[in-house]
Structure 1
Amino acid sequence: MCGISGIFDTQGTRAYSRELIVRINDAQAHRGPDEHDVHLEPGLALGHRRLSVIDLAAGQQPLFNQAGTVGIVFNGEIYNYRDLTDELKALGYHFRTRSDTEVIVHAWSAWGEACVHRLRGMFAFALWDRDRQTLFLARDRMGVKPMHYAWLPDGSFVFGSELKVLTAHPGFARDIDPLAVEEYFTFGYVQDPRCIYRHAHKLPAAHTLTLKRGEKNRPSARPYWDVSFTNNSVITLQDAQAELRERITESVRLRMIADVPLGAFLSGGVDSSAVVATMAGLSSTPVQTCSIGFDDPRFDESSYAKQVAERYRTNHRMEIVSSDDFDLIDTLAWLYDEPYADSSAIPTYRVCQMARKHVTVALSGDGGDESLGGYRRYRMHLGEEAVRGRLPLALRRGMFGPLGRWYPKADWAPRSLRAKTTFQALAMDSVQAYCHSMSLLRGDQRQALFSPGLQRSLGGYHALEVFRHHAAQAQTDDPLALIQYLDYKTWLIGDINTKVDRASMAHSLEVREPLMDHLLVEWLATLPSDFKIRGGQGKAIFKQAYEPLLPHDLLYRPKMGFSVPLAAWLRGPLKDRVRSSLQGERMRDCGYFNPATISRLIDEHNSGMRDHATALWMLLMFEAFLRVNEGALVAAAALD
């Protein structure tokens, strides 16, 4: 795993200084501590930070072909590189290394932009073809690896694995995008392709970007893959269970190829446990497993992880994390480069920190819930869909709309009595309702929080437009498939993959996700939805398939998640920080927020009247972003 960076003159061949490319490349030194190098030629500068995993002796980058005409900087792993090597050798290409990086260089020469269709793995790369005067950028299908880019006023194009590469360039203007603020306070992260800065972009998953020197118009990113939910397979449930195990085994086997110590995260959940069980069946030596436990039993799954570790005799290591482990706020603000509010980033950071003491590569179970219907919100959405399917939208709006407005927000009540959100969702269409359920702050909450100036600067923009855009591409009428598709495009990339990439790379740890293999994802999308949610049970086919390999109480216990006690932190040890930070000069001067609303949120939370932990944490992380990135500028003219 690595960090990449570069600068490209889109109109000419100006000279970029070594000092400049080294500076922006070193901004992400944590991504690649083993080696670093740069390449300079007229109109181009490429930088690379290397975490050595395959071909430790000869995989240095930037890497060029033998003629020196095609070069690459690459972050990720190509799991089918051995097969591609054999295919390319048969076509007459000669290899100087055993690395998967060189495979991409020759694949470009053989197949051009279509080379991405041949790659199976997680990747973000920039490839320079001198003869064609072309810079080609690509990102993997599931968005596991990141790519950020921007066009600068002088005509330069700058890119990097992390946003901090762009902000390290003196020509990059750090003006905050108000639309990104709307997305952050809706979802807890900024959705691709937007960044918190208006002049920066994320290359979307499964997209490429081709720049040819001298072209006057800025090119647009182009998709090369999408998942198609046909749900039309005629396979029997029993045969599907057997094939699922076979496909996961193949995916895990490919991801166990490494020239460095390899292990796995073992949380005690279904997905990571299945991955570890599969690894144990493929390995002649004990699997290295890592997990963290919490000193608060409400958040601790370590006993389940221990069951799996004992059953498969793994070399298991566990550390207990204090329930007051909240000292990472500023660290996270620096790591993520833009506001990011998923508090599970804290235990994720800790488990990566622990794993890196013992391994360089770790397999995880990420992606299983999205592909197999594991989230509780999926089952709730299907229940709501049954009501929406019986009553026309106009009637539902008239019936449930007033209930959603009048019903109290009963945070203190048993879950069965907290019906406000459900009433609101029933008054909406399917896409709006799912966006509503995925929103950390609802529309009325954001309206109360945002200043009049920020609301004017949004120009009527609503984060719902993100979901509308993706839903229009989904090409499915199946209720479960639609929201799975929306999660693939938003939550999985923007939250889960971002969290794991930054937390792992902070410790120079490579994390591989076998349940996100695109061939596995494509196959799962052909299965009927009732294979995934069956009898009110999420991930039904997955759990039944692994009954012979995992304890029954682990498979069928309630999902716990990787949580932290936010509400207690914000009323207790973080109480003073919340008040001083959120009512301080920085938040007042940015002009985005209504001070009276912030005061009310703090007072009501501290008194126990309401649970505003989510809103206060989002505000705290936004303030930390402003503080860590002091050069970030509010678009003041838009807030007048």
Structure 2
Amino acid sequence: MCGIVGIFDMQGSGEIDRGLLSKMNESQFHRGPDEGGLHSEPGLGFGHRRLSIIDLSSGQQPMHSADRNVVLTYNGEVYNFPELRGELEALGYSFRTHCDTEVILYAWQAWGEACVDRLRGMFAFALWDRPQQTLFLARDRLGVKPLYYSLLANGHFIFGSELKALKQHPLLPTRIDPTAVEDYFGFGYVPDPKTIYRDVYKLEPGYSLAIRRGDERIKPRQYWDVTFDPGNFSSMDAAGEELIERLREAVKIRMMADVPLGAFLSGGVDSSAVVALMAGLSDDPVNTCSISFGDPKFNESQFAAQVAGRYHTAHRVEQVDPDDFSLIDCLSGLYDEPYADSSALPTYRVCELAKKQVTVVLSGDGGDENLAGYRRYRWHTYEERMRSLLPDGLRMPLFSTLGRVYPKLDWAPKVFRAKTTLESIGRDSMAGYFHSVSVLSNGMRQQLFSEQLRAELQGYGAIEVFHRYREKAPSDPLSMVQYLDLKTYLAGDILTKVDRASMAHALEVRVPLLDYKLVEWMATLPPSYKLNGREGKYLFKKSLESHLPNDILYRPKMGFAVPLSSWFRGPLKERVREALLGNTLGQTGWFNRTYLEHMVTQHQAGLRDYSAAIWSLLMFEAFLRNAGF
């Protein structure tokens, strides 16, 4: 994989500071340690850091078309480039390399902005068409690869794969956006298209952006979306067979590489399915890796070993220290803005392990969102049934009151911890789902934020992130929350986590379950094929029964968790107090110190579990320190 940067003078053809361009480019050295390249001309500069995967001897970037009219800097893999190359050769284009980069160049010359509709893969790229005086940027449909941009006061448009590249520019405005702070403490990340900074943005998944010199408009265009229109399936068995065949094809096209290739193997359904299909497509043993934890509550390594044994993979496993919290400050530097998914810690470690064997890995990410694997989907459908039993005028005040008076019983058995469910049922469907996924609830954020921050928010709430998608969201309750997660959680949390953790080790991660053709097809499956009673991924699991044992398919989902609660009462006890009650958060004027003290005291006394909120605050404080606030 690679890193890209650029500077574009939107108004004229002024000289681009090549030293600054190089500095921006080198800040992403980790994304592409094999080679680096720059291109500059009046009013334009492109930079590229290369991680060589295909056509190692050529394919250097930035790359020019044969007529020198178009130049491209590109991060990604286009898996159907051999077919596209054949089409383009039939149109008269000649190729000097064997890589997908050159295919994008001529796809642009042949089809213009519509070229993105033909690309099947993961990508973020920028190209400059000199005759048209047009800068064109695009990001892949699901958001596997990132792309940040900003328009500066001097009329320069800058972009990069990571926020750290933009921050090298001395004119980048770094005023924190208060609505992004609200979003962060609601979701645990800053959802696209925002960043933590007011004037810096992410290009959203499935969007492109064309800027013509002399035109000051910056208006991204959506070129792709997923729809959940029901398809025609003769039977569940036939649908299951088709699912496996479609996934096998998505896996096969992602096994093309001129460097060592392998797979993450957690022992869960998705990664195990990918490894099983890879084994059937490979003459050699598949390289697999997993990490283990000493605590059996978090350890899936025995299931990974079971799959590795069945398919005779070259398996590597390492145990992670259960108190591996040395990465906290490192993570804030990797992600460049507040990011509160604690599974970034083990993800970083498994990427570190994988790099010892391979340069490219396949992962099982995307299965939960597309095939309804999260437990919260099951709870949402239960809550929807309750909502349908009572009219809104009765249900909302009744359950809102019950949720408010019901005690928060973190220490009690799960059956008695009903407060969140009662509160969710007292809301409409979208607000109820937001309540179930929030890191800090609406009430907690109200108590956490100072009067100053609440005034700056001017009534804005993080639920507005979901409301952006209300018109296009499906009406079916399960499909609706799947759509919301594909638009927010998948790109903002899951794929961000994997991209930064993998690229920190110059490791490319490919995601067959997020092949857009497969995603489009899975969206047409009846909801009952995905969530059947209490069983999520129902069709997927049934179709995998000949490939994987039942104790892999039907065991409870574990996830990539870390023991935050015990850390904050034990080895990180003092660090928590220093971070939450120290000067860094205090100087912002955004937080209610009394409530911070309450959370720390209650958690460390074992009276409440505030671990998710504390972790979010720890990561926000680390971001502020690293960003120089």
TM-score normalised by L of structure 2: 0.99
SS at match of 2:4: strand
Residues in 2 aligned to 1:93 and 1:443: alpha-carbon distance in whole angstroms: 57
Matched, 1:209 2:209: yes
* Contact 1:404/1:421 (<8 A) preserved: yes
**What corresponds to 2:37 in structure 1?**
37
**What corresponds to 2:615 in structure 1?**
617
* Contact 2:233/2:239 (<8 A) preserved: no
Matched, 1:69 2:69: yes
Matched, 1:84 2:90: no
- Map residues 58-457 of structure 1 onto 2, 5 A cutoff: 58-215=58-215, 217-457=216-456
Shift of residue 232 of structure 1? 3.5
Q: Percent same amino acid among aligned pairs?
A: 59
**What corresponds to 1:637 in structure 2?**
none
Shift of residue 157 of structure 1? 0.2
Residues 235-255 of structure 1: per-residue CA shift (max 9 Å, x gap): 310100100010000000000
Residues in 2 aligned to 1:394 and 1:432: alpha-carbon distance in whole angstroms: 16
SS at match of 1:608: coil
Structure 1: 5+ residue stretches without partners: 633-640
Shift of residue 420 of structure 1? 0.6
SS at match of 2:616: helix
**What corresponds to 1:28 in structure 2?**
28
* Contact 1:193/1:201 (<8 A) preserved: yes
**What corresponds to 2:627 in structure 1?**
629
**What corresponds to 2:16 in structure 1?**
16
Shift of residue 468 of structure 1? 1.0
**What corresponds to 1:548 in structure 2?**
546
Shift of residue 18 of structure 1? 1.3
SS at match of 1:48: strand
Residues in 1 aligned to 2:133 and 2:232: alpha-carbon distance in whole angstroms: 45
* Contact 1:233/1:528 (<8 A) preserved: no
Residues 78-116 of structure 1: per-residue CA shift (max 9 Å, x gap): 000010011100110011100101110000000000000
**What corresponds to 2:598 in structure 1?**
600
User: Any runs of at least 4 consecutive aligned residues in structure 1 with deviations exceeding 6 A, and if so which?
Assistant: none
Shift of residue 297 of structure 1? 1.1
- Paired letter, 2:532: R
Residues in 1 aligned to 2:525 and 2:586: alpha-carbon distance in whole angstroms: 52
- Paired letter, 1:182: E
- Paired letter, 1:572: G
SS at match of 1:56: coil
**What corresponds to 1:531 in structure 2?**
529
Residues in 2 aligned to 1:86 and 1:390: alpha-carbon distance in whole angstroms: 58
Residues 355-393 of structure 1: per-residue CA shift (max 9 Å, x gap): 001100000000000000101000000011111112111
Residues 25-81 of structure 1: per-residue CA shift (max 9 Å, x gap): 111110000000100000000000000001101010000101111011000100000
Shift of residue 394 of structure 1? 1.3
- Paired letter, 1:462: G
SS at match of 1:49: strand
Residues in 2 aligned to 1:300 and 1:226: alpha-carbon distance in whole angstroms: 37
Residues in 2 aligned to 1:416 and 1:230: alpha-carbon distance in whole angstroms: 36
SS at match of 2:471: helix
Shift of residue 572 of structure 1? 0.6
Residues in 2 aligned to 1:28 and 1:341: alpha-carbon distance in whole angstroms: 22
After superposing the two structures, state which structure 1 stretch, 132-141 or 576-585, moved more. 576-585
Shift of residue 220 of structure 1? 1.0
Shift of residue 308 of structure 1? 0.3
Structure 2: 5+ residue stretches without partners: none
Residues 608-634 of structure 1: per-residue CA shift (max 9 Å, x gap): 11111011111100000011110x4xx
Shift of residue 471 of structure 1? 2.3
Shift of residue 218 of structure 1? 2.0
- Paired letter, 2:90: A
SS at match of 2:184: helix
**What corresponds to 2:489 in structure 1?**
491
Shift of residue 154 of structure 1? 0.2
Residues 403-430 of structure 1: per-residue CA shift (max 9 Å, x gap): 0110011111111111111111111111
Residues in 2 aligned to 1:218 and 1:333: alpha-carbon distance in whole angstroms: 33
* Contact 1:70/1:129 (<8 A) preserved: yes
**What corresponds to 2:507 in structure 1?**
509
* Contact 1:349/1:503 (<8 A) preserved: yes
Q: CA RMSD in A?
A: 0.7
SS at match of 2:74: strand
**What corresponds to 1:635 in structure 2?**
none
Residues in 1 aligned to 2:111 and 2:414: alpha-carbon distance in whole angstroms: 55
Residues in 2 aligned to 1:291 and 1:335: alpha-carbon distance in whole angstroms: 22
Shift of residue 439 of structure 1? 0.5
- Paired letter, 1:598: L
Shift of residue 398 of structure 1? 2.0
After superposing the two structures, state which structure 1 stretch, 231-240 or 38-47, moved more. 231-240
Residues in 1 aligned to 2:236 and 2:396: alpha-carbon distance in whole angstroms: 39
Shift of residue 231 of structure 1? 2.2
Residues 568-612 of structure 1: per-residue CA shift (max 9 Å, x gap): 001111111111121111111111101111111111111111111
Shift of residue 556 of structure 1? 0.2
The alignment covers a number of residue pairs equal to: 629
SS at match of 1:472: coil
Residues in 1 aligned to 2:601 and 2:47: alpha-carbon distance in whole angstroms: 49
Residues 132-171 of structure 1: per-residue CA shift (max 9 Å, x gap): 0000000000000000000000000000000011111011
**What corresponds to 2:561 in structure 1?**
563
Shift of residue 193 of structure 1? 0.3
Matched, 1:584 2:582: yes
